[in-house]
Amino acid sequence: MAAIFTKEAVEMTGSKGADMFEIKEVIALDNPVDLSPLEVFALPVSGGGFVAQVGLLSELYMAKWVANGRRLQGSKSYQPDLVLGSSGGNVAAYIAMAGDWCPEGMLRMAAKMETKMFIQSWFPDFMSFIPTWLIGATKGSIYREGYGAKDLFKNIFSCESIQKTEVWIGAYDLNYRRAQFFCNLQQARSMISADYINESTYFYGTLPVRYLDGDPERIAKACMASASIPLLVSKQSLDGNGYADGGIMYASPLTVFRDEVYRLVMGNNPYHERLEREARAGGSTATSFTVDPRSQTAEVKEVPGITHAGSKGLRALHLIYFCSYEMDVAKGVRPEHRQSTPNVAETLQQLLDASVLQDRAAAVDLLHRCCGDEAGSIVFTHHPHLNHIKLAEILTELNQQRHYVIILYPHGNPTVRLQNFKAFDIQEQVANTRAAYGGYIWYFPTMKGSKGDSRPAASSITGSSRLSREVPAPWSLQCRDSNGRDSHSRAVGSVERVT
The per-residue DSSP string of 420-459 comes to S--HHHHHHHHHHHHHSEEEEEEEE------TT--SPPPP
User: b or e along 369-378 (b: 16 or more beta carbons within 10 Å of the residue's beta carbon)?
Assistant: bbbeebbebb
Give 469's pLDDT tier (boundaries 50, 70, 90).
Answer: very low
CA neighbours closer than 13 Å in the CB half-sphere of residue 314: 25
Given this model, what pLDDT does residue 136 score? 63
Given this model, what pLDDT does residue 331 score? 54
What is the pTM for the complete model shown? 0.77
Q: Which of 24-38, 143-157, 289-303 has the lowest mean pLDDT?
A: 289-303
Given this model, what pLDDT does residue 436 score? 97
Averaged pLDDT, 426-451: 85
Given this model, what pLDDT does residue 399 score? 92
Given this model, what pLDDT does residue 18 score? 42
Give 405's pLDDT tier (boundaries 50, 70, 90).
Answer: very high
Question: Do 158 and 182 meet the contact criterion of CB atoms below 8 Å apart?
Answer: no
Mean pLDDT of the chain: 76
The residue with greater pLDDT, 237 or 188, is: 188
Enumerate the β-bridge partners of residue 243: 173, 236
Nearest residue to 382 (alpha-carbon basis) of 251, 254, 484? 484
What is the full DSSP assignment across 199-245?
Answer: TTHHHHTBPPPEE-TT-HHHHHHHHHHHT--TTTB--EEETTEEEEE
Give 440's pLDDT tier (boundaries 50, 70, 90).
Answer: very high
Enumerate the β-bridge partners of residue 25: 300
Distance CA 192, CA 166 (A): 9
Flag whether pLDDT at 213 surpasses 70.
yes
- Helix locations, 99-204, DSSP H: 103-110, 133-139, 150-156, 194-198, 201-204
Give 199's pLDDT tier (boundaries 50, 70, 90).
Answer: confident
Flag whether pLDDT at 353 surpasses 90.
no
Given this model, what pLDDT does residue 37 score? 92
Flag whether pLDDT at 453 surpasses 90.
no
* DSSP run (H or E) holding 383: strand 379-386
Highest mean pLDDT among 41-45, 142-146, 231-235, 323-327: 41-45
Averaged pLDDT, 344-368: 86
Averaged pLDDT, 62-89: 90
The residue with greater pLDDT, 14 or 184, is: 184
Enumerate the β-bridge partners of residue 442: 380, 405
Task: Say what the alpha-carbon torsion angle 61, 65, 67, 69 is, to the nearest 10 degrees.
Answer: 180
The residue with greater pLDDT, 477 or 66, is: 66
Given this model, what pLDDT does residue 205 score? 92
The sign of the CA dihedral 65, 441, 100, 59 is negative
Given this model, what pLDDT does residue 462 score? 53
Given this model, what pLDDT does residue 340 score? 52
Give 55's pLDDT tier (boundaries 50, 70, 90).
Answer: very high
Given this model, what pLDDT does residue 300 score? 52
Distance CA 155, CA 177 (A): 33
Enumerate the β-bridge partners of residue 241: 238
Given this model, what pLDDT does residue 32 score? 55
Give 116's pLDDT tier (boundaries 50, 70, 90).
Answer: confident
User: b or e along 167-206 (b: 16 or more beta carbons within 10 Å of the residue's beta carbon)?
Assistant: bbbbbbbbeeeebbbbbbbeeeebbbebeebeeeeeeeeb
The residue with greater pLDDT, 495 or 356, is: 356
The sign of the CA dihedral 200, 204, 207, 209 is negative
Strands 236-238, 241-245: parallel, antiparallel or unpaired by DSSP? Answer: antiparallel
C-alpha distance from residue 343 to each of 101, 143, 337, 349 (Å): 39, 22, 10, 10
The residue with greater pLDDT, 447 or 363, is: 363
- Cα angle at 253 between 252 and 258, to 5 degrees? 120
Q: Which of 34-38, 235-239, 335-339, 348-352 has the lowest mean pLDDT?
A: 335-339
Distance CA 263, CA 268 (A): 5
Given this model, what pLDDT does residue 246 score? 84
Averaged pLDDT, 370-398: 94
Flag whether pLDDT at 19 surpasses 60.
no
